[in-house]
Amino acid sequence: MTLTALTASQLAMVTSFIRLSISTLIELGPTEFVQEVSGTLGKYNNVFTILSSLTIVTNLRTLGPYGKETSESPFSLPEKKGGRVVGFFARTGMAVDALGVIVRQ
């Protein structure tokens, strides 16, 4: 599976939860790769902590932010030196409450 196919399918799922059923398909070019993933966590119904926004930085452009940015809990996962982001995984219930990044050296 190529980086583009894996990233596009998984990011469509993640952004659909963030935007409350509004899906965004993200496609990367053949020489494009993810360098950084950042975003914010926020409260859902003032109870549950969820992923409230997501921004993806590639070697060519910045995608997002998707969702609603908050100042509550920002995070940033830069690319490990010499590695590349090759996939994402998420834990979901009513919304995305955890996001993981797979890096290949």
Q: Average of pLDDT values for 45-67?
A: 87
Position 44 in a domain = yes
Position 15 in a domain = no
Q: What is the pLDDT of residue 61?
A: 94
% of the chain at pLDDT higher than 70: 73
List of E strands, 1-105: 34-44, 48-58, 62-67, 73-78, 84-92, 96-104
Q: How many domains does the chain have?
A: 1
Position 84 in a domain = yes
Position 19 in a domain = no
Q: What is the CATH number of the domain that holds 38?
A: 2.100.10.30
Position 22 in a domain = no
Give the 3-state secondary structure of residue 79. coil
Segments forming the whole domain that contains residue 84: 28-104
State pTM to two decimals.
0.71
pLDDT digits (tens, 9 = 90+) for 12-53: 445 544 444 456 778 888 888 888 888 888 887 777 788 888
